[in-house]
Structure 1
Amino acid sequence: MSDRWIEWAQQLQAIAQNGLTYNENPFDIERYQQIRQIAVDIIAAHSDMEPSYILDLFNREIGYATPKVDVRAAVFDDNKILLVQEREDGCWTLPGGWADVGDSPSEAIVREVYEESGYHVRAVKLLAIYDRNHPRHGHPPLVHHVYKLFFQCELIGGTPTKSFETEGIAFFDELDLPKLSLTRVVPSQIARLFEHYRNPTWQTDFD
């Protein structure tokens, strides 16, 4: 119950964004702007983010409000999984990030893995689609509502190479994981990916 505030703020922002997209009545526009400001105030009151920063993020969102898509790769080699170390927080995560407009999901994950690790991979299976908001995942609150797509990827070449986003690339044993960047991935998700790896006939997880 403690993190319901972020869910409420996201819902208010979605209502405001949709209203601002489809309404031309100046009085209604003002009301939707007020709703957006309430969402900003809720997030600012429960986080260390400046209201102006939050409002700028929301103002960039146009059109009908939908969840953002985050793609993550599960690349296995010799029963270990590939992780990259984020420069932003010094913690480790599965390679991946926001899907770009114009990319298919598999194209997005192949690109992200190469950009963040230097490895060439091929997407072979969608293992899971998770709602980042769902409390069972335990992610820290985030301004945006996000769907996370986890792909199993086959390693086909390349060499480990740091990027402007990453400062470390390594394969880790399931029982010897480094400190994880919990905004991006949580231990239970990596554990589930290892289970999928050991059980290739399993169907895709969702929610």
Structure 2
Amino acid sequence: MTLNYLEQYRRLLSIAEAGIFYGKDPFDKERYEELQKLSLNLISHLGNEPIEKLENIIDSSEGYPTPKIDVRAFIKKENKILLVEDLTTKEWALPG
């Protein structure tokens, strides 16, 4: 049986990120952060990449580790276009 180490390390990293994102208990979050560091270290050694580069990639992503997909709709009726206000940015956008 051939082990795909990168796939397994990435899975460990995903579990750690989910735990950090959803964890409520500070002690659990601390353990997930340690698991994240260990996973990044293993991936770094396997891929011969500096760990700082991997940490930058992880730091730039937000939320649960899944593909981020956005769907919007263009709705026009009687020469009017439906827009919604973003609660965070207060900008107007297509509903989605």
User: What TM-score do you get using the length of structure 2 for normalisation?
Assistant: 0.61
Residue 10 (structure 2) aligns with: 10
4+ long deviations beyond 2 Å: 59-62, 101-104
> Which segments of 5 or more consecutive residues in structure 1 lack a partner in the other structure?
69-100, 105-207
> Which segments of 5 or more consecutive residues in structure 2 lack a partner in the other structure?
73-96
The 5 A counterparts of 1:82-97 are none
Equivalent position amino acid for 2:59 in 1: N
The structure carrying a bigger helix percent of its residues is 2
Residue 33 (structure 2) aligns with: 33
Contact 1:18 1:64 in 2 (8 A): yes
Please state how far the C-alpha of 1:5 moved relative to its aligned partner: 1.3
Matches of 1:48 and 1:9, distance apart in 2:
14
Distance change (3 Å), C-alpha of 1:32 and 1:10: same
Matches of 2:16 and 2:36, distance apart in 1:
5
Please state how far the C-alpha of 1:48 moved relative to its aligned partner: 2.3
The structure carrying a bigger strand percent of its residues is 1
The 5 A counterparts of 1:169-188 are none
Matched length = 71
Matches of 1:52 and 1:62, distance apart in 2:
18
Matches of 1:60 and 1:12, distance apart in 2:
19
User: What TM-score do you get using the length of structure 1 for normalisation?
Assistant: 0.31
Deviation sequence 1:147-180 (CA, Å, 0-9, x none)? xxxxxxxxxxxxxxxxxxxxxxxxxxxxxxxxxx
Residue 112 (structure 1) aligns with: none
Equivalent position amino acid for 1:65 in 2: P
Please state how far the C-alpha of 1:103 moved relative to its aligned partner: 6.6
Please state how far the C-alpha of 1:67 moved relative to its aligned partner: 4.4
